[in-house]
Structure 1
């Protein structure tokens, strides 16, 4: 994802996005900072078992598709959690705004201005948020991040948070100040080793989990078929669909080994663009047959490997949907292709909703509503959060977003939380344990091996 973030104390609520898994806050943004998956970030400071499948993921595609008829399969815990929620709480689960502060109790005028609550903890509680996403401005030290994630979870006692970040490694490394500096996807891909792809994802996931982060907006599943692509480039494993598919599949399994949710991005494929979706609306002119051959294979592989989430792209793909709407707002793409054709039953996250690519035709409230109607479950970083939240709430009250449709998304989010062991309560992170995991000798040796080309 790639939204823009303002001010120095950012705390983003939940899954991330287009250019690299996370979004950036709207408003007074620093030009050098990209949203969660944006390629440029002034503050990063970085150089460079089988997956546990949920019932909603393992069920094969159905003729009607999850968004066309019945809701995803529910466990008892998920069913009870859903039944105990008010409408406002259900709507809150869909959102992941940017918050400001390095602790859950940090008082920020920015939070007050944007959300009507001064601290990250109060914003989480007020809107019943589904999760938060961390950016470099939220990262000062191991102990500080552990205290932050633990404090955020305490603010959401009824339904624990998905706490995410864009840790692709390489160019997009939001937690790079603390974590092992693993090479990015292009260097991992150059080793041709699926074992190394899985090992790097496992090690990355282990370090994130030690900090209290339970979701990564990685791996990038785009095939870098356009060398002029301003967004993807070295963030992709390569330019061959079969090779990228193998590496993506291995990475998804590696994150599952670490019990961290993985997110394949950016569907239906951002690899052949020459426009940055942070500032414009790219158009991909592939035919349906070219999409099947070039763009779809890594996403198929990710789904087959049990990927937890898939992030949409703010790109127009006329041969997949002639409406002119970006994929994030396209029911033919998110529901017709991703749900019905590819059989994906997990969480669909938007890329950052403060990016210009998704805001060309509609205001911030309508964008959020249309994303849900298209099939999205997680609404990442809306530009005007109150407007987006109230628009979705109003649409749910009026029936424009049906109760069934809303419950489908909340069920998927709760199922993901259950799959990653946090639905009944997120385990507290330990600063002492994290200090022994982050930048361990074993992980540094692994990073060095990848940097040497796998030797």
Structure 2
């Protein structure tokens, strides 16, 4: 794994209520089981305030906590004022010729990485590898395309941009959130497709990017009952047998 994600840390990632950690939050961040912090729009006022916040978090302990954010572009970009506005990935996916889309995806990843790292963060939870089936309001324009192969190509360029900018890549939402209508933030979506169908579609971007060094994977809070009764994020079948065993993720 990328060194930015491989520090020996706890397994829990916490969030903060505001722009400055409270005493209670600082205590939780120092706990041995804490591995990182995810920031949201509520934690951001200005570039200077963000640098002060991340610097303070880093000074809390050794090894330093990981600091991350959902900063994909489009409607999922937590820091806006003072940051480059990145288009939705679906807009990049529509560009022609293919070389133009590839370049735009690379540049989006590079800009995101450089801006986040210069403000004291380690990475964004990106790229989105979900297939746009036109069914999921939670995914929608966050997806590059309805074509799994095109997603793999453009997300690969985006990933290279992140890497050249010094940030890790996090593919999400494994094995795929695009086919279900319910939003997994507020419900428990169920995808009734068989594994063979998922392998021909949603798993294609992962199969292409894992050999290229995809640093991390965020599982979907989706149940695929024809594969396992548990949500993917709690499923040894999905995480050990399929992600690590078949796809070779390390």
TM-score by length of structure 1 reads: 0.52
Q: Which residue of 1 aligns with 2:158?
A: 251
Matched, 1:135 2:14: no
- Matches for 1:22-421 after TM superposition, within 5 Å: 54=2, 93-103=10-20, 106-107=21-22, 118-127=23-32, 129-156=34-61, 158-191=62-95, 192=98, 193-225=101-133, 227-321=134-228, 324-345=229-250
SS at match of 1:325: strand
- 1:353-396 deviation line (CA, Å, top 9, x unaligned): xxxxxxxxxxxxxxxxxxxxxxxxxxxxxxxxxxxxxxxxxxxx
Q: Please, which runs of 5 or more residues in structure 1 have no aligned partner?
A: 1-52, 58-77, 83-89, 108-117, 346-455
Q: Please, which runs of 5 or more residues in structure 2 have no aligned partner?
A: none
Shift of 1:302: 2.3
Rounded to whole Å, the distance in 2 between the matches of 1:222 and 1:206 is 24
> Higher relative contact order by CA 8 Å / sep ≥ 6: 1 or 2?
1
Task: Count residues in correspondence.
Answer: 245
SS at match of 1:152: helix
- Kept in 1: contact 2:159–2:169 (CA 8 A): yes
Rounded to whole Å, the distance in 2 between the matches of 1:147 and 1:122 is 18
Shift of 1:228: 2.4
- Kept in 1: contact 2:73–2:87 (CA 8 A): yes
- Kept in 2: contact 1:263–1:307 (CA 8 A): yes
Rounded to whole Å, the distance in 1 between the matches of 2:130 and 2:79 is 22
Q: Select the structure of larger CA radius of gyration.
A: 1
Q: CA RMSD in A?
A: 1.9
TM-score by length of structure 2 reads: 0.92
Shift of 1:305: 2.1
SS at match of 1:203: helix
Shift of 1:278: 1.6
- 1:199-250 deviation line (CA, Å, top 9, x unaligned): 110011101111111111011000112x121211100001001111101111
